[in-house]
Amino acid sequence: MNINKLLLGFFVFASTTLPVAAHEAKYGASLLGSSEVPANASPATGSVLITIDFDLVTMRVETNFSDLLGNVTAAHIHCCTDPGTNVGAATQVPSFIGFPLGITAGTYDHTFDMALASSYNPAFITNHGGLVSTAFNDLVAGLDAGKAYLNVHTDLFPGGEIRGLLSPVPEPESYALLLAGLGVLTLFARRNKRETAHG
């Protein structure tokens, strides 16, 4: 088989799948008391999935949590700092709009327009270039680097009862691309082996 045709096929495949993967990014985390700084012994658990849409400039926040010892007072994303340390809130304060407060278990699903200043903590915009666009870029960079965490504050744990350090979730398209790439490499390896044997 003509290796150039094979490579062309690979690049056509890559160019049709890449934009899908590149215009959306997902970040996930488990929410635990042991992830707080300092850690606490809360039996509560939860999870969070963040989806950034770079075309729409939106951020979807999907969260669930249960078994909190205290009642929820606020929830938002803090950024940007190294794991094991604390930093101020980056997103809407005092809490995500519509986040269920005053309860110990619940769910939340809201999509924020990240082109609006109201989706951020004003201090985060001030400290990150002074513009919504620079704040957005820094927040995404923080998410990519594993330097942002979702924190659920309660009346018993004002500093946060459960939190999760957000990290990138690979898209299915990325896996397909990776497998296609490995397939090409395998064909190259076979071809080289055969040529060596003959020669």
- Segment contacting Cu ion by CB under 5 A, of 63-71, 102-110, 151-159, 182-190: 151-159
Letter for the amino acid at 40? N
CB of 33 to Cu ion, least distance (A): 15
Q: What are phi and psi of 187, to 5 degrees?
A: -65, -40
Q: Which is nearer to Cu ion, 78 or 132 (CB)?
A: 78
Alpha carbons 72 and 7: distance in angstroms, whole number = 54
Whichever of 52 and 78 has its CB closer to Cu ion, that residue is: 78
Of 9-17, 85-93, 98-106, 117-125, the segment contacting Cu ion by CB under 5 A is: 85-93
Q: Which residue in the shown chain puts its C-beta closest to Cu ion? A: 151
Cβ 134 to Cu ion shortest distance, Å = 22
The alpha helices in the chain, defined as continuous H runs, are 3-22, 122-127, 132-144, 172-198
Of 128, 53, 142, 65, which is closest to residue 96 (Cα–Cα)?
65
Q: Which of residues 14-73 bind Cu ion (CB under 5 A)?
A: none
**Shortest approach of Cu ion to residue 43 CB, angstroms?**
21
Q: Does 151 bind Cu ion (CB under 5 A)?
A: yes
Which residue, 88, 77, 49, 52, is CA-closest to 152?
A: 77
Nearer to Cu ion, 159 or 183 (CB): 159
Q: CA gyration radius for the chain?
A: 22
Please choose, out of 81-89, 164-172, 180-188, 189-197, the segment that lies near Cu ion by the rule CB under 5 A. 81-89
Cβ–Cβ under 8 Å, residues 143 and 169: no
**Which residues would be at the binding site for Cu ion (CB under 5 A)?**
89, 151
